[in-house]
Amino acid sequence: MLMLCNVGFAQTTAKNDTTAWLLKIDSLTVTAQRILKNIGVQQTKLDTIALRENVSISMADVLTQNSVVFIKSYGRATLSTASFRGTAPSHTQVTWNGMKLNSPMLGMVDFSLIPAYFIDDANLYHGASSVSVASGGLGGAITLNTKPANEKDFSIKYIQGISSYDTYDQFLKLNYGNSKFQSSTRIIYTLSDNDFSYKNYHKKHYIKDDDGNIVGYEYPVEHNKNGNYKDFHALQEFYLTTKNNSHFGFSTWYMNSKRGIPMLNVDYHEESGSRSEQTEQDLRTVLSWDKSFAKIKLFGKAGYTYTELRYLYLGDKGDGVLSKMIHSQSYVNTGFAKFDAEYYPNNKWMFSVNISAHQNFVNSRDNAIINTEGNSVIIGYIKSRFELSSFASVKYRPVERLGFAVNFRDDLYGKNHTPVIPAAFVNYLISERGNITAKASIARNYRYPTLNDLYFMPGGNDSLNNESGYTYDGGIEFTLKNEKTNINGEITAFNSNIKNWIVWLPNAKGFWSPSNVKRVNSYGIEIKLNTVVNLVNDWKFTGTGNFAWTRSINHGDPANWADESIGKQLVYIPEFSAAATAKLSWKTWIFTYKWNYYSERFTTSNNEKNTKTGKLGAYFMNDISLEKHIGFSWANVSLKILVNNVFNEEYESVLSHPMAGRNFGFFIEITPKF
């Protein structure tokens, strides 16, 4: 609706003011390109306000609250992976400034390691729409981008956060720019003891009388052991616009993370009896270029990623001294290049092509293996793999109400080749009143095995087949708007059939190994709603909500005669999930309420309900915050206090991993005036 209104405004203005006709024609052309580019696409664009909720949140928190993606979290500042439409974490493809973030070893992304304050633009592509981003998005794809700040001079912003469990967050942003050059520096440093207390319902302390008879029991209150963490992120960007209107960009992101792996609440070891930690260093760099002509737009990108990942487990062998039981180290080097071209012959057609390449070098090993002779042995693998992906798309809008699009993607990985990946889209404007638009899409997609799937020692299986699937979806979106209210929403039904699903299972040799054993049918409904209401006397209400019903059913062949997983919901996939955010603002005050819900999740593939550990109960999460903006002659200051888990909900997102109860945070943001 907004895009159509922009077109009308441009045409009217051009008639009334001929001195600006060149500018108005350019504006009209850009708007037409946007409409063509989004034909049939099922997309969720995350609001910038959600990305800037507070400096302590990660992309895991943003996705949990503002999308239909289920985030499987092991706790505060621990592994957080995405399940898009009931699929596995490796079925969600993620890019940063066009470069893959998915690990070539594991195939997934830890969203707890991506600070939301480092992302300026985030988009989710559901189902078939992910083909335009990358192959392998059997559930969907997420694109994360940074953008020029468009500053006209020098600016600085500093945020200090102090929260429960001795948690401290610092953020510094330095910007400088003019019409030709932009520079941005962002730094985040976070550390926390993360030693919250919780009631442990997996243990019992028995109460005895004077004669030693058990007369009752109680659940002990324990604290989160070995959960401390320390994260450092630095992002430097430069953007340059030349005289011939070419745009160059440079972005480099460095991360250094050290995190203790919290002990399970079923672990009876003393905290001094064992310790495990994970450290990770990442360096990601992307160079970009783009240039627009009358009907053609060209893009070029090149990048490099270095990852050093270490996992260390120390245990007591009985002599009271902690010794290395596991010392796993992995080094990943990835080179990246991509070229895009878009051609708009008129306002009815759009043609686009791109080709991207990733060259991966992986060295993965465990340095703590002891052989039968008592000597140290290094076990692992050293592999490289070249990945090449080409993409072509045609979009056509014969009349204003109707649009069609066809995409094709072709992938090479190593010496192997996936079949061509096709996708087709259509949308139709049912009614201009309410901007009611119907969308539908279909795609056949493939995901090839990760390097760990193929070569991990021990257990890798180099004879794995590609995972493949058909995805269908269709839905209705609408926009209702008047002078004071703007409501837009979308409802989508989807169905996906995935064959050769890769699963790691224990084998007769005593270790785990991957195999193509599952055929999964995932289907359901997604609903999104956004509301803005301008009330009286400077009051304003903003509300967002999303709901998902997801059935993800295993229809594969039984692994053995006792396999009871066939026809059951996949583990850790909630059937129902929902989230809502409400903001009420008045002048310089903002009150925010956030609500989140997940239905029960099964922890066993046979959906066992008769044991305490067979399922995790449903839970509701409630967070509130109050923010005040104050303007001084020397700076703009923002004060914010928040309360997470207001009703002190006791819950687990993953079995035996306790979550924090009610906790508090205070943040102060200072933006000096120059």
| pLDDT computed for residue 560 by the predictor | 62
The helix (H) or strand (E) run that includes residue 550 is strand 539-554
The amino acid at 148: P
Supply 45's token pair.
């664009």
* Sequence-ordered list of residues with C-beta below 8 angstroms from that of 444, at least 6 positions apart, any chain: 419, 421, 422, 423, 468, 469, 470, 471
Average pLDDT over residues 559-587: 87
- Kindly report, residue by residue over 42-57, the tens digit of the pLDDT: 999 999 999 999 899 9
Alpha-carbon gap, residue 186 to 75, rounded angstroms: 26
What b/e sequence results for 553-572 when a residue is b if at least 16 CB atoms lie within 10 Å of its CB, and e otherwise? bbebeebeeeeebbebbbbb
- Kindly report, residue by residue over 404-451, the tens digit of the pLDDT: 999 999 999 999 999 999 999 999 999 999 999 999 999 999 999 999
Residue in 548, 509, 556, 551 with CA at minimum distance from that of residue 529: 548
The residue ranges of DSSP E strands in 242-295, in sequence order, are 246-260, 274-292
- Kindly report, residue by residue over 118-158, the tens digit of the pLDDT: 999 999 999 999 999 999 999 999 999 999 988 888 999 99
Supply 145's token pair.
């981008």
- Kindly report, residue by residue over 245-273, the tens digit of the pLDDT: 899 999 999 999 999 999 999 888 777 67
Supply 221's token pair.
């209150």
| pLDDT computed for residue 505 by the predictor | 82
pLDDT band at 374 (very low <50, low <70, confident <90, very high): low
Name residue, tokens 């056509």. 396
pLDDT of residue 300 exceeding 80, the answer is yes
Angle between helices 2-16 and 21-37 (to 10 degrees): 160
The amino acid at 267: D
Supply 177's token pair.
């720019």
Whole-Å CA distances, 439 to 304, 384, 392: 37, 41, 21
Choose the weakest-confidence range: 172-176, 216-220, 359-363, 626-630: 216-220
Residue in 360, 362, 359, 358 with CA at minimum distance from that of residue 382: 362
Supply 471's token pair.
């995805």
pLDDT of residue 462 exceeding 80, the answer is yes
Q: For residues 479 and 518, is the Cβ–Cβ distance under 8 A?
A: no
* Sequence-ordered list of residues with C-beta below 8 angstroms from that of 18, at least 6 positions apart, any chain: none
Share of the chain above pLDDT 70, in %: 92
Alpha-carbon gap, residue 434 to 478, rounded angstroms: 6
Alpha-carbon gap, residue 187 to 587, rounded angstroms: 30
Name residue, tokens 């109460």. 207
More confident residue, 340 or 245: 340
Q: For residues 34 and 10, is the Cβ–Cβ distance under 8 A?
A: no
More confident residue, 287 or 53: 287
| pLDDT computed for residue 368 by the predictor | 67
| pLDDT computed for residue 6 by the predictor | 38
| pLDDT computed for residue 604 by the predictor | 87
Alpha-carbon gap, residue 63 to 626, rounded angstroms: 21
Q: For residues 94 and 63, is the Cβ–Cβ distance under 8 A?
A: no
**Prior bond to 458 cis, omega within 30?**
yes
Average pLDDT over residues 235-240: 97
| pLDDT computed for residue 298 by the predictor | 97
Average pLDDT value over all residues in the chain? 90
Choose the weakest-confidence range: 1-15, 70-84, 506-520: 1-15
| pLDDT computed for residue 375 by the predictor | 61
**Environment class of residue 133 by beta-carbon count within 10 Å: exposed (0-12), middle (13-18) or buried (19+)?**
buried
Average pLDDT over residues 293-317: 93
Cβ neighbours, 10 Å, residue 418: 19
The amino acid at 389: S
Share of the chain above pLDDT 90, in %: 75
| pLDDT computed for residue 31 by the predictor | 37
Choose the weakest-confidence range: 129-133, 170-174, 202-206, 468-472: 202-206
What b/e sequence results for 339-373 when a residue is b if at least 16 CB atoms lie within 10 Å of its CB, and e otherwise? ebebebeebeebebebebbbbbebebbbbbeeeee
Whole-Å CA distances, 421 to 388, 394, 417, 547: 14, 14, 11, 29
The values of phi and psi at residue 435, to 5°, are 45, 50
Domains and CATH numbers, the chain: 38-672 (2.40.170.20)
pLDDT of residue 107 exceeding 80, the answer is yes
Supply 364's token pair.
């993965």
Choose the weakest-confidence range: 3-17, 385-399, 478-492, 569-583: 3-17
Helix (H, G, I), strand (E, B) or coil at 20: helix
- Kindly report, residue by residue over 183-197, the tens digit of the pLDDT: 999 999 999 999 999
pLDDT of residue 319 exceeding 90, the answer is no
pLDDT of residue 117 exceeding 90, the answer is yes
Cα three-residue angle 467-468-469, rounded to 5 degrees: 135
pLDDT band at 511 (very low <50, low <70, confident <90, very high): confident
Cβ neighbours, 10 Å, residue 507: 13
Beta pairing class for 421-431 and 436-447: antiparallel
